[in-house]
Structure formats: structure tokens, C-alpha cells
A and B are shown apart, each in its own frame.
Chain A
């Protein structure tokens, strides 16, 4: 067995294709890593600026109702490996009592260079997706067919070796050869990563990278086995090569793009969006009716929501809506630096009004959230899930999903952030209730002391635990391994039954 492996290994290592595999993976990984690191640094910088400006802006606001608390999403350093959704989705979202934030309400930091989006973005996993699969097929196509043609297979089988051993040794040695460019290029990438001052990788991150490496090996192995299968079935190198290349083109280039292009027009979510949106609208209309009823019955009948309070400052009241993302919210408040003598007696009315209004806004927002959450799931999440599942019919899709889960750039990990944002909103509301902020004078006016933002709980978000990453990646990894085993068994059966 060992002799067999050594023979195969030497055969493979001395070939031109091995040198080519090493050269091309190193070249592409290094070139792209340099670009990706710079891109990450830019995003990190714009994140840091955004955090600072947002904090300053809130601290500078003198009334609670006018303060815009915004939380920011930091770029994920592992997006260098698989960018996933990390870069393109919004990375700042407003926290407001009248509105439950979601992924679809987020905006991007303002350092965008949009025309560059016309170029396709590459990450390290994409390089592996293309190059490793191609290399695996190039190593496999003549493994059986070549020996069959040159007659060495017959010679080999005259020796007292088991066929399973021949197969296994071929597989092992080829995998070793393919591992060399993979590991070399990855270690170069990690050296580049740690070499820059701006990226700090924790131990958990190295474990995540380990997960990515493991998935890459499993992916590579799938393609090697596909090549071996073709080689065992076809038995002529020329034909095996041709079939391998077409299979590669189909699985890597054609299938993922065609299946999604063909499906794209089929998703028509507009009617669903309309019905959900009208439901949400109705809830806010009920809110408005209640609101008006309160104003009619309040101590000073017929007065407007600004209560005629005036001097230096402004009132604001606005509904925002966007039927595409089912967004609908109500924002009202005021920002007065000073209040004149004439308005002083009206302040208690305003306080009374906000004591009523804010809880009502919160409860309406929460009620609409239940409907909206379901609607968003149906309209956005469901089609994306179907797409992902269909993509998994090709190993490329499985590999991509697994590495995204490891890197924490998949949908679930991004949604973790927005879950945290929603939780933070609840914390802020609880904090305001505790301090009786909604009925305080500082809610709308700073004439007797400005709003105190210093004791406001800080938002913090930690990327999910490595265990959770692993849990999300495991189904896909499992799928890759199952594919490996199934392919191996099929090849084994064919090879055993083959006549030489």
C-alpha cells in the first residue's frame, strides 16, 4: 500500500500540472488577498468614522425625542475569505422607539464608490472554487483511464494487490498533491493578513479558518472523485478529459448562473407585499384615530400637537413609508433650546401628551413588527432560501454556503447583528421608561437642562460564537462529505467490476 502511494505521489509531484497548480493558486490568492485586505481596511476605517460621528451627533442633541441613536455594523475580517453578504448589505441602522429595525432598513456608510460594482468581486473562496476544482479534475482524468490505456493497470493488477488499495492510494496521493497548493496559498494569505496592523484575528478566527480549510479539502475531494468516476467509466484519456472539462464548465460556470437567472422572474412577491403593507398601514391608521381621540379629549381641546409652544426650536412629525420593504413608521417629537414665557403653562400639557403618545407608538410599532417580520420572511428570506437550496445541487453551492457559515458572512450571521440591534432598542426603551424620559421635560425641550446621553446603555455586538458558526456550517459540510462517500463507493464498485 505504501509503495503504491509513494509511486503515485512521485508520479504526480513531478508533473507539469502540479507545478501549474501551485503557481496559479499562489498567484491568484496573493494578488486577491492584497486587494481584499485593502478593501477591508477601508471599510473598517469608514466604520470607525461612522461610529464616532454617530456618537457625537447623539451627544450633541439636546432633547431625547430628537436624538438619533444609530448602531453600526463592523466589517467582518473573515469576509476576506468569503465575502458573502457582509459587504453589500447595509451597515448602519437607526434605533428608534417607534420602529423595529431590520436588515432591510439598514443603510450603508457614506464611503461608497458605486461604479466599481460593475466589476465582479472576488474573494479567496471564489479562487478556490474555480482553481481547485479545475486542478482536481486535471489530476483525476487520467488516473484510471491513463493506466488503462498504457497497459500499466494490467501489469499492476498482476501483483497481489487489492483493487481497493490501488484506488485508495491513488486518491490519497492526489489529495496530498492538491493539498500542497491549497495550504501554501492559504498560509501565505494568513501571513499577509497578520502582517497588516489593522486586522486582529482571535483564536476563534483561526478555528473558523480551519473550518474553511476543511470545507475546501472536502470540496476539492468531491471534484477529484468526479474526475475519477469519469476516468473509470470512460476509460480513454482523451474522452475522459473532454467530459471532465464539460462537467467542470457545467457545475462551476453554467449551472449556478443559469438556474438563478431562470428562476429570477418567477418570484413575484408584489401581491404579498401589498397585502402585508396595507395591513401595517391599517394598524397605523388605528393608531392615528386613537391619537386624534386623545387630542379631542385632552385638557385643552382642539389644540395642535405642538401646543403652541414656541421660541427657539422646532417640532417634527412624520410618517415614513416604503412599500417595497414594508417600512412604515411614525416619528414625532420636538427640539427646543428655549421656551418663552407665554408657552410655559403649556409644558405640562405637552408632557401629558407625550406620556400618552410614546407608549402608544411603541405598542403599535411592536404590533406591526409581528406582521412585518412574517412578510419580510415571505418576500425576501424565502426566495433566497430556495435559491441557496437549488445552488446546492452543484458542489460549488454547498462549498460556498459552508464557507460563508464558517466566515460568518451568511444571512443568519448578518441577522444576528440585527437581532442585537432590536434587543438594544428594547434596552434603550426600558432605560427610558426607568428614567421616565418619555414624560420628562427633556423629551422635547432643553430649556431646563439638556438630555443626558452619558448613562445610555452602549450598544455592543460580538460576532457569533465559533460553536454557532460550526452548527450552521455542519449541514453543508456533512453534505459535502456524504457526496464524497457516495462517489467513492460508486467508483469502487465500477472499478471492482471493470475488466482490465
Chain B
């Protein structure tokens, strides 16, 4: 078996395709590294500046518990992943901020009552002012998903049909070697001869990136990179197996290449986007117009309720209680509405992503995204983080208020809350985190699916090759 693998390897190493592959992969990975080095420091700087601005805003709000609770902790920012070069994940289309919205005055005489801080999910529209041509980002996802798969097909389309055409297959099978050994040898030969340029390119990419002082990769990041590399190899195996399968079934190598390219174009280039477009048509989430309409309705209903049910001025404590509830419920209602829209939009995108898993390139991109800490799932994690933080923040307000015996414990009105000064440092800070275990949960399905594809195709190739007549 090793003899066959070695023979294949030597054959490949001397071939034109090996040289072209090496040049192509090196050039792509170099571009990727250079672009990342130029853009990532800016991203980090922007993130830090925004977080500092947010914190400064919180400090400037003063030490009144009411002001802190009413205006909230400021905008919450998504931490940029240091592995963005592995998978861009359409980050530009996913907002990197969750906003705190509140109304300056909701009702009450002379706008005394102010709306309370609540979570709000702004949308990112990066293309609204951008008139430059749209292109795919050259990340590892692109290099592995598109280029590497094409290369894998070009390495295997003639491995059996080519030998059959030349007649060397018959010669080889005349020797006392079992057929599966021949197949595995061919598979390994092709695998190794692609892994060599791939590893070279990846090493050069990482070398360039880690030599820079601006970008720092931690232990965790290196672990993730290792996993990403393994995923790339698994994905490579899938296309090698497909190439071998078709090559074994088809008599002529030209036909085998046409079939393979056909499959590649359909599955890799078109399937993800076309399927996503078809599937997303089945549901129509709440549009921005509708959201604003419902916001207005909710607001009016609450305003009307305030006007009719407000206790008389002779009962100040009841009145204050009512006003506090009014403010808090208004914020809750609006937050629930934003959340509902977000959930509908998420469900739509999630469904489309699930369906596109038929295409292996979508699987590998999901996997890369989850290990690089970018993309859609990461965005959902970020939103979850902000929601957890919002709960924490509200608990802090309630606890601080409860700790003050002089307070009336009516949150929502200035007079009803603790008047004690609060140190801005005591307010919990938002820090966006990324946990590997969660990523792995999300990725497990994709990983299993990918492995399943590889096994099915490999055994298909085996069966096809065993049954083949020479």
C-alpha cells in the first residue's frame, strides 16, 4: 500500500498541477494574512475605543441610581475575533453592537417620567453607502471551501479512469495486491500531495500573522487553528473520495472531469445561496415598518392606560407605585417586541442555514465560523451575552435599591428609588466572551455530518472500484 501511495506521491510531486496548486495556495494565504494584518488592529482599536466611550458615558451619568438605571450602561459591543481571517462569516452584515434604547419622556406632566433602558437590536446596513463591487472575502473558508475542493477534484479525476485509459490499471491489478489497498494507496497519495502545499501555505500564513506585533494569538487561538486545519483535511478527504468514486465508475477521464465539475459547480458554488434564497421565502419575519407600527400601537395603548388609570393626586404613594409600574412595563413591552422580531429573523436565517447543510461547503463554513468565533452563531451568542448582562444589570439596580432602607423601593420613578450615591465602578461591566465548549456543541452536528459524507463517499468509491471491470 505504501508503495502505491509513494508512487502516486512522486507522480504528483513532479506534475504541473502540484506546482500550480502550491503557487495558488501560497498566494491566497499570503493575501489573506496581509489583509488581516492591515485590518485587524483597526478593528481592535475601534472596539476598545467604543467600549471605553461606553464606560465613560456610564461614569458621566453621575452617581444617582435612578440615572444609571434609566439611561442604562450604554452600548454593548461585540468583541472582534482574532481568528477573523479564518472565517469572515458575513460579520459586516451582522451588527456588532446591541443598543440601549429609551425614550426621553413617556408621559406624566411635563415629561417627568422617562422611559427606562431596554435592549434594542439595531441592524447593520454596510452596503447602503458602499458602491464598490461586491466580492467574496478571501478568508480560509473561501480558500478551503472553494479552491481546495476544486484542487482535490483535479487531483483525483484521472486517478483511476486515467490509468484505465493508459492500460496501467490492468498492469497494476495483475500484481498480487488487493484492490482496496490500491484504492487506499491512491487516496493517501493524493491526500498527502495536497496536504504538503496546504500546510506550507497555512504555515506561511500563520508565520506572517504571528510575526506581527499588533496581532496576538493566544493558546486558545492556536488550539482552534489546529482544529480548523483538521476540519480542512476532513473536507479535503470528502472531495478526494468523490473524485475517486466518479473516476472509478466512469470509463473516460474527460467524462469523469465533466461530471465532477458539474457536481462541484452545483454543490459548492450555487447550492448554498440558491437553497438559502428558496427556503427563506417560506417565512416572512416582521419587517422594520411593521415593528415601528407595532411599537407605536403599544405606546399609544400604554399612554391611554396611563391617562385613564392614574390614581388621583391625593394618593401620592399609590400614584407613584402606578407610575413606576407604568415605566417598567413600557420598557418590558418594547423589549419583548424587539426580541420577537429578532427571534423571527433568527429562525428564518437558522432554517436556511440548516437546509444549506446539504452542501458540504456550507458545512465547512459553519464549522470554520464556529471555531473562529465569527458568523451567525457567534452573533447569537453575543446577543445571549447581552441579554444575560441586561438581567445582571437590572438585578444590580434592584439589589442596590433593596440595600437602602430609606428607599421606597419603587423602581421607575426618581423619588421612589434609593437616593444614595452609587459608585460607577460598582455597576457590572459588560464583557463579551466566547466559550469553546459552546462552539463545540454547535459544531458537533456539522462535524458528524461531514464525517458521514466522507465515510459514505469513501465506501462508495471502494464498492465502485471493487466491482469495476478492467
Of residues 13 to 62 in A, which have CB atoms within 8 Å of B's CB atoms?
Answer: 16-17, 20, 23-24, 27-28, 31-32, 34-35, 38-39, 46, 49
Distance (whole angstroms) from the CB of B197 to the closest CB of chain A: 13
Q: How many contacting A-B pairs (Cβ < 8 A)?
A: 198
A20 CB to closest chain B CB (Å) equals 5
B315 to chain A, nearest CB (A): 31
Question: Are the CB atoms of B138 and A257 closer together than 8 Å?
Answer: yes
CB closest chain-A residue, reference B350:
A115
Interface residues of A in 63-117 (CB under 8 A from B): 85, 88-90, 103-104, 106-117
Contact of B138 among A32, A38, A115, A258 (CB under 8 A): A258
Task: Report the nearest B residue to A381, measured CB to CB.
Answer: B131
Q: With A115-B376, A119-B272 as given contacts, are A108 and B125 in contact (CB-CB < 8 Å)? A: yes
Nearest CB in chain A: distance from B250 CB, A: 9
Q: Which residue of B lies closest to A50 (CB)?
A: B289
Spot the interface stretch: B112-120, B237-245, B257-265, B423-431.
Answer: B257-265
User: Does A422 interact with chain B (Cβ within 8 Å)?
Assistant: no
Task: Tell me which of B147, B276, B290, B345 contacts A114 (CB under 8 A).
Answer: B345
Q: Smallest CB-CB separation from B259: which chain A residue? A: A20
A113 partner, pick from B135, B258, B348, beta carbons under 8 A: B348
Q: Which of B62-70, B86-94, B96-104 contacts A (4 or more CB under 8 A)?
A: B86-94
In the complex, chain B residues whose CB is within 8 Å of the CB of A388: 133
B residues 146-187 touching A (CB-CB < 8 Å): 146-147, 150, 154, 158, 162
CB neighbours of B146 from chain A (8 A): 253
A135 to chain B, nearest CB (A): 9
Tally B residues with Cβ within 8 Å of A. 73
Interface residues of B in 1-49 (CB under 8 A from A): 15-17, 20, 24, 27-28, 31-32, 34-35, 38-39
Does B454 lie at the interface of the complex (its beta carbon under 8 Å from any beta carbon of A)? no
Instruction: Known A38-B281, A115-B349; judge A262-B35 contact (CB<8 A).
Output: yes
A258 to B33, CA, bound (A): 12
Q: Which of B240-278 contact A (CB under 8 A)?
A: 254-255, 257-259, 261-262, 265-266, 269-270, 272-274, 276-278
Q: Quick one: which of B135, B261, B273 contacts A119, CB cutoff 8 A?
A: B273
- A197 contacts partner chain B, Cβ-Cβ < 8 Å: no
* Inter-chain contact A254/B135, CB cutoff 8 Å: no
Within 8 Å CB of A383, what residues of B? 132
Residues of B contacting A262 in the complex (Cβ-Cβ under 8 angstroms): 31, 34-35
Judge whether B20 and A242 touch: CB under 8 Å: yes
Chain A residue with minimal CB distance to B277? A35
User: CA–CA, A49 to B125, complex, Å?
Assistant: 21
Chain A residue numbers with a CB within 8 Å of B27 are: 254, 258
In the complex, which residues of chain A have a beta carbon less than 8 angstroms from the beta carbon of B289?
49, 109-111
**A111-140 interface code vs B (CB 8 A; 1 in, 0 out):** 111111111111000010011001000100
Interface presence of A147 (CB below 8 A):
no
Interface SS of chain B: helix, strand, loop or mixed?
A: helix
A256 and B135 form a contact (CB under 8 A): yes
Bound Cα distance A35, B349 (Å): 16
Residues of B contacting A254 with CB < 8 Å? 24, 27-28, 147
Residue B285 lies at the interface, judged by CB distance under 8 Å to chain A? yes
Q: Are A114 and B93 interface neighbours, CB within 8 A?
A: yes
State which of A88, A130, A242 has its C-beta within 8 Å of the C-beta of B265: A130
| A119–B277 CB distance below 8 A | yes
A2 in contact (CB, < 8 A): no
**CB–CB B133/A243 < 8 A:** no
The 8 Å CB contact of B90, one of A103, A118, A238, A264, is A118
Q: Report yes or no: A384 in contact with B129, Cβ–Cβ below 8 A.
A: no
CB <8 Å contact, B281 and A260 = no
Of the residues A20, A34, A88, contact of B127 by C-beta under 8 Å: A88
A265 contacts chain B at the CB level, 8 A cutoff: yes
Shortest distance between the CB of A252 and any CB in chain B (Å): 10
Residues of chain A within 8 A (CB-CB) of B269 are 130
A249 within 8 A of B: yes
B287 lies within 8 A of A31 (CB)? no
Contact B133 A384 (CB under 8 A): yes
Interface centre among A31, A103, A117, A264 (most CB of B within 10 A): A117
For B129, list chain A residues within 8 Å (CB): 103-104, 324-325, 380
Does B35 contact A116, Cβ atoms closer than 8 Å? no
Complex Cα distance, B346 from A131, in Å, reads 33
CB neighbours (8 Å) of B277 from chain A are 32, 35, 39, 116, 119, 121-122
10 nearest A-B residue pairs (beta carbon): A110-B289, A118-B90, A265-B38, A115-B349, A110-B288, A117-B93, A88-B127, A119-B276, A35-B277, A111-B287
Given contact pairs A114-B345, A118-B90, A325-B129, enumerate 6 new A-B contacts (beta carbons under 8 Å). Answer: A20-B258, A24-B262, A118-B89, A118-B349, A122-B274, A130-B265
